[in-house]
Amino acid sequence: MASATRPTVGFIGLGIMGRPMARNLLRAGHPLIVHDVVAGPVADLVAEGAAVAASPRDVAAACDVLITMLPDSPQVEDVYLGDGGALEAARPGWLAIDMSSIAPRVARAVAARATATGADMLDAPVSGGEPGAIAGTLSIMVGGSEAAFDRARPLLGVLGRTIVHVGPAGAGQVVKLCNQVVVAVVIEAVAEALVLGTKAGVEPERIVDVLQGGLAATKVLEVRGPNMLAGRYEPGFRANLHLKDLRNALELAREAGVVVPAAAGVEQLMQRLRIAGRGDLDHSALVTVLEELAGARVCDGPAGPG
Ligand code: NAD
């Protein structure tokens, strides 16, 4: 299992984020065992030196530390708690790190089941997107015990640059939802401004140039603005995943007794994007909903909405 210096890592969920993260662990010298329900990314990592296991339980049995990077709460419950799930092989000394973005309530429940076996578990969702996953510069917000965090820290250092222990189990997911509320509301604000300015007769590129030099400057406009200007929305971060985060944020707000009117409004616009059949585009495609409502386009390029 563990090499002399580096623990054996299991990795489940080799999508847009998981695949480059797993690759970075392999390149850092960790023996790696991978699993996904889709064959293509598994084959790619095996070609680069990873081993493969047929079920989450088999991955868990063969590794010291399991990392999961799955779409949402149901997949995390399935991988950890389902038939042939990872917790069937959980044991004292074993560590699980779920880096998916899921509901804090589910993160706390799965962690309680893991720790009941004597194992440790952290929730450690990330920010920084596919470029951050490839470069190993993600921001990682970690919930769980201090001891588990200290143990995970060197491994997380391979994947990210800003790594903060934010509280007990579930706290990482709470902070991630705060992050997703900010990003969603800023995308909506940027989209709204570009549609307004364009329909009122100003070139959108000029609007961006000026906004980025003043108080309105934002990383969202820097990173996603080019999509809106070009009318191209390859993900990136799929709008359906952001819709999932907003729904988890609304659930958290209900539990915590908080009103989140801006997040609730953007959830409805993201819902409209999904109904229109564009939920698998990048979340910056939210601008296409505002374009339709205004009867105007930011971009006259060939791609257009969709
Ligand atoms: P993705 O859909 O590209 O990848 C998910 C992977 O999980 C896929 O390869 C899928 O086949 C696999 N999977 C699904 N169910 C499975 C199961 N039961 N067993 C094994 N494998 C299974 O998603 P992504 O963009 O990589 O995002 C993963 C998580 O990270 C999500 O929670 C997302 O919200 C979060 N996130 C994404 C980004 C981004 O920019 N893409 C940024 C930060 C956080």
- Per-domain residue ranges of the chain: 9-168, 175-294
Residues in contact with 255: Cβ distance below 8 Å, sequence separation at least 6, in sequence order: 105
Residue closest to 221 by CA, chosen among 259, 257, 183:
183
CA 290–ligand 1 middle distance (angstroms): 27
CA 279–ligand 1 middle distance (angstroms): 15
Distances (CA, A) of 304 to 21, 241, 291: 32, 22, 10
Q: Quick check: CB of 12 below 6 Å from ligand 1? A: yes
- Closest atom of ligand 1 to 127 CA is 43
CATH topology of domain 175-294: N-(1-d-carboxylethyl)-l-norvaline Dehydrogenase; domain 2 (1.10.1040)
Distances (CA, A) of 18 to 32, 56, 96, 246: 13, 15, 15, 21
Instruction: Please report, in tens digits, the pLDDT of each residue of the chain (306 residues total).
Output: 455 578 999 999 999 999 999 999 999 999 999 999 999 999 999 999 999 999 999 999 999 999 999 999 999 999 999 999 999 999 999 999 999 999 999 999 999 999 999 999 999 999 999 999 999 999 999 999 999 999 999 999 999 999 999 999 999 999 999 999 999 999 999 999 999 999 999 999 999 999 999 999 999 999 999 999 999 999 999 999 999 999 999 999 999 999 999 999 999 999 999 999 999 999 999 999 999 999 999 987 434 444
- Closest atom of ligand 1 to 70 CA is 7
Q: Which CATH class is domain 9-168?
A: alpha beta
Q: What is the pTM of this model?
A: 0.94
- What is the spatial distance between Cα 283 and Cα 80, in angstroms, rounded to a whole number? 28
Mutating to test ligand 1, I would choose from 11, 12, 14, 17 the residue with most ligand atoms within 8 A of its C-beta, which is 17
Residue closest to 152 by CA, chosen among 261, 9, 249, 4:
9
Q: Among this protein's residues, is 176 annotated catalytic?
A: yes
Mutating to test ligand 1, I would choose from 37, 175, 183, 219 the residue with most ligand atoms within 8 A of its C-beta, which is 37
Does this chain's domain 9-168 share its CATH topology with 175-294? no
Bridge partners for 141 per DSSP: 164
Nearest residue by C-alpha to atom 38 in ligand 1: 129
